Chain A
Amino acid sequence: MAELILHSGERFEQVFFNEPELNLHIVQEAGSEVKMHVINFASGTNNIVVEQRGEGCKTDIYALAYLHGDEAVQTETHVLHAIGGGTSNQLIKFVLDDRAKGRFIGDLKIAQDAQQVEAHQTNRNLLLSETAEMRTQPQLEIYADDVKATHGASTGQLDESTLFYMRQRGLSEQKARQLLVGAFMREVIDSIGEAGTESALKSQLLDTIDGVVE
């Protein structure tokens, strides 16, 4: 696996779109920042390892998979806070239609000496059909005592009372669903930065979502 070392104060920002197989191992030194988006609109596997080995590092991982038919995505994140004073945020979303399969393995580890860490891991999944399947396996290992760590995972369907509200305003059920799915995905896309090559891909992705929205 390719290993990337971010030196003190360096910043890594990238969007990975439709990579069939993403393997990434990043080692962060003091004060470095990582912000990545992993977007899959087709099958793929993602294995992301981030180690905070210096103080005051920042790690933001966003992932979105939107799958149809028999597509499948497995996303694995391993975030290690070896040293204190850092933050990590993970927002992982899957939207699964037809017989699509999603799997998230989220491994978050805060070492014994890594005090004053703030770590959040959120996994939200939307099932659009009865036959779609989602498996979530969060693994939290927290050995330090002065830390703030949260984790949440939920898998659900579109809210019936919201759909009825929208239909009561004249939107077809299909249109209402499209708007809600678009809104669910937008949270991830909106967080992509506006700088350089990022912004072109961001608007391309927003167009794709608007295409979903129609």
Chain B
Amino acid sequence: MNTLLEIHNLHASIGGKEILKGVDLTIHEGEVHAIMGPNGAGKSTLSAVLTGHPAYEVTEGTVLLHGENLLAMEPEVRARAGVFLSFQYPVEIPGVSMTNFMRTAVNEKRAYEGKEPLSAREFLALMREKKKLLELPDKLNNRSVNEGFSGGEKKKNEIFQMAMLTPCLAILDETDSGLDIDALRIVAEGVNRLKSPQNASIVITHYQRLLDYIVPDYVHVLADGRIVKTGDKTLALELEEKGYEMLTANS
């Protein structure tokens, strides 16, 4: 299996406060990695650093995507290279329609790959096809990005954008938070159908519930800025049962 992402000794801080204190993680194509951990462990910081959020400073370590230095790329270049973040709190963009936004995004990625832009007709056909996957209504096309969407619609819309952009690395940051069981099922099915032998996902979650639907190959526990334990899916069940205190008890 080809290596997709290699994180070595990653340290990162925000406002001078160190949050990640030496993260090591290797992800191969076709794998699903769950990252669990208590609040404040650095889960969302990891996703922010991997996607290049300007508020965070990487102070040490390396991250390679397909062997290339990910940390040297601008956020938009990382996105075009196939790193996608499903945001924990998707942003509303009044006045910018979903269609206009997604068409720009898809064509930016195609340009990066040396492909011709999609015509309006081709693009709308693609939107229709991907929308079915998430059971999203057609009317969302003309609405402003996420404006007035319910919590569930916003999360579905994130996965819809993921379907449009076909990333090689999808990071799902607390995608299950605020979802009822039906929305959770739809979102998880969408993620599962997008799975391929060439792509991989990082599923960040506080609870085991999502992992009933998106089954991970590996479960990592992030605590105080480091991965302190790695196991298979049974680790998530164990954590659910015993709580994160078991980690401190063990160590």
Contact = CB atoms under 8 A, between A and B. Distances in A.
Interface in A155-214: 159-162, 164-173, 175, 179-180, 182-184, 186-187
Nearest to B54: A164
Nearest to B79: A170
Interface string B91-119: 10111100011101100110010000000
A183 B76 CA distance: 21
Given A166-B101, A179-B100, A179-B104, A171 B76 contact: yes
A201 B74 CA distance: 39
B184 interface: no
A165 B90 contact: yes
A165 B95 contact: no
Contacts of A187: 95
B196 to A, nearest CB: 20
A172 B108 contact: yes
A94 to B, nearest CB: 16
B72 to A, nearest CB: 16
Nearest to A178: B104
A75 B158 CA distance: 42
A161 B85 CA distance: 13
A188 to B, nearest CB: 11
B75 A168 contact: yes
A170 B109 CA distance: 7
B47 to A, nearest CB: 10
Nearest to B84: A168
B33 interface: no
B108 A168 contact: no
Contacts of B199: none
B108 A180 contact: no
Contacts of B104: 171, 175, 179
A169 B160 CA distance: 12
Given A164-B54, A165-B87, A165-B90, A170 B95 contact: no
B205 interface: no
B132 interface: no
A168 B101 CA distance: 12
Q: Give the one of A162, A168, A179, A183 with max B CB within 10 A.
A: A168
A171 B112 CA distance: 11
Contacts of B95: 180, 182-184, 186-187
A160 B55 CA distance: 10
Interface in B53-94: 53-54, 74-76, 79-80, 84-85, 87, 90-91, 93-94
Given A166-B93, A169-B161, A170-B109, A179 B76 contact: no
B96 A167 contact: no
B94 A170 contact: no
Nearest to A173: B76
Interface of A: 159-162, 164-173, 175, 179-180, 182-184, 186-187
The 6 A-B residue pairs whose C-beta atoms are closest, nearest first, are A183-B95, A170-B79, A165-B91, A169-B105, A170-B108, A167-B75
6 contacts: A161-B91, A164-B54, A165-B91, A170-B76, A170-B165, A171-B108
